[in-house]
Structure 1
Amino acid sequence: MAISELKLPAGVRAHDFVSPSLLAEALAGKVAEQLRTAIEQRGVATLVVSGGRSPVMFFQCLSRQSLDWSKVVISLADERWVPVEHVDSNAGLLQRYLLVGDVAKARFIGLYRSTATLQEAANEADQALAELPPIDVLVLGMGDDGHTASLFPYSPNLAEALQAEGTRRCLPMRAPTVPHQRLSMSRALLASARFPILAVAGQGKLTTLRDALAGDDIAQMPIRAFLHSSLEIYWCP
């Protein structure tokens, strides 16, 4: 099955690549182009990315792009509630692969807070995100269960996190099958991005995307909340 076989909503554009390296290069080029345009038009550009293992090659390619990184604000769609030094920290991942060289000049707004409870960490992250300029580029991933960011199917706080007109920017989330508690940007904040992108790889993810497109229950598959007309999908086998 190829992504061209999927029936995508009107306006959703799909880009098909033969390898992860070609996808990463093309995605980095597109993101940099959008950031440059935002800087030219508004003097600042905001990029929100997802963590995990999948985007490492993309981060490395993006770190080599030439633009005025001092005018870019970078944040994360979600984070594990672990210190930056922890191997599973998304902020730590960015420090190793993206916030290097000239990109270190960018302003980074992380979600992790060292607090007594996850709820307190989410509250503090929510306040910090009040300083986040409007999101120009959003790069989301997707799990095999249809989650995106840390918006996991049927998890506690999901209903609030998926409110289209919600006022929260960050909420505490729990993943059903992974060990760490999470912090996640809300649907309302993520959906405000001017240029949203979904980057996925593998036939399994393509099957998940097909299933997501076949229904409309966003609690069952939260990625459905973002499969709308302004989305661009980058996929490779």
Structure 2
Amino acid sequence: MAISEFKLPQGVSAHEFKSPVLLAEGLALKVARQLSEAIDTKGCATLVVSGGRSPVAFFQHLAKQTLEWSKVVVTLADERWVPVEHADSNAGLIKRYLLQGPAVKAKFLSLYSVSASLEEAAQQADRLLGELLSIDVLVLGMGDDGHTASLFPGSPNLAEALQADGTRRCWPMLAPTVPHQRLSMSRALLASAQYTALSISGQSKLTTLSAALAGDDVAAMPIRAFLQPTLEIYWCP
């Protein structure tokens, strides 16, 4: 099975690469172009990325791109509620692999805060995200269960977080894997991005994507909320 065999919704396009390295390079070039265009247009740009292990090569390639990094704001679509020093911290991942070299000049907004509870941390992140003028570039991933960001099927706050017209920007979410406690941007905020890419690799992700395209229950597979016109899917075996 290859993504070229899929019948994608109108306006959704796919880019197929032969290896993860080539995908990372191609995505980094596209993201850099989009950020440069935003800077040229309005003098600044906002990039929202996803964490986990998959984006490391993409981060490394993006950090090498020629950009006016001092005019770029970087933040996360979701975060694990652990300190930045923790091995599972997405903020820590960003600092190790993306905010290096010239890219260290970018401004980073961390969703994590030391708070009494996950709800308080989400409220703090919600206030922080109010500083964003807009999202110029969003790079999403997808889990085998159809989650994206930390919008997990079955999470207690999922229905509210998936409201297309919701006003809250960040929600406390619970993942079925450790660490369970997460912070996630809402569907409404994520969907406001000017450019969105979905980066996936492997046959299992194609199987998940096929299932997502075959139905319309967003709560069952939250990635369905983003399979909309102008989405660009980046895939490799």
TM-score grouping bracket, smaller chain normalisation:
over 0.9
Distance 1:57 1:13 in 2: 22
Q: Could you tell me which residue of structure 2 aligns to residue 115 of structure 1?
A: 115
Q: Could you tell me which residue of structure 2 aligns to residue 27 of structure 1?
A: 27
* Aligned 8 A contact 1:218 1:225 in 2: yes
TM-score, scaled relative to structure 1: 0.99
How far did residue 166 of structure 1 move? 0.2
Q: Could you tell me which residue of structure 2 aligns to residue 195 of structure 1?
A: 195
The CA RMSD measured in Å over matched residues stands at 0.6
Distance 2:17 2:228 in 1: 22
State the SS of the aligned residue for 2:130: helix
Q: Could you tell me which residue of structure 1 aligns to residue 90 of structure 2?
A: 90
Q: Could you tell me which residue of structure 2 aligns to residue 42 of structure 1?
A: 42
Moved segments of 4+, more than 6 Å: none
State the SS of the aligned residue for 1:131: coil
Distance 1:46 1:60 in 2: 18
1:103-142 to 2 correspondences below 5 Å: 103-142=103-142
* Aligned 8 A contact 2:122 2:170 in 1: yes
Q: Does 1:74 align with 2:74?
A: yes
State the SS of the aligned residue for 1:73: strand
Distance 1:69 1:133 in 2: 17
TM-score, scaled relative to structure 2: 0.99
Gaps of 5+ in 1: none
Q: Could you tell me which residue of structure 1 aligns to residue 226 of structure 2?
A: 226
Distance 2:35 2:177 in 1: 35
* Amino acid in structure 2 at the alignment position of 1:153: P
Distance 1:158 1:35 in 2: 30
* Aligned 8 A contact 2:80 2:179 in 1: no
How far did residue 55 of structure 1 move? 0.2
Judge which range, 140-149 or 171-180, deviates more: 171-180
How far did residue 180 of structure 1 move? 2.9
Q: Could you tell me which residue of structure 2 aligns to residue 155 of structure 1?
A: 155
How far did residue 7 of structure 1 move? 1.1
Distance 1:84 1:101 in 2: 20
Distance 1:49 1:177 in 2: 20
How far did residue 128 of structure 1 move? 0.3
* Aligned 8 A contact 1:109 1:132 in 2: no
Residue identity (%): 73
Gaps of 5+ in 2: none
Q: Does 1:183 align with 2:183?
A: yes
Q: Could you tell me which residue of structure 2 aligns to residue 99 of structure 1?
A: 99
* Aligned 8 A contact 1:164 1:188 in 2: yes
Q: Could you tell me which residue of structure 2 aligns to residue 168 of structure 1?
A: 168
* Amino acid in structure 2 at the alignment position of 1:88: D
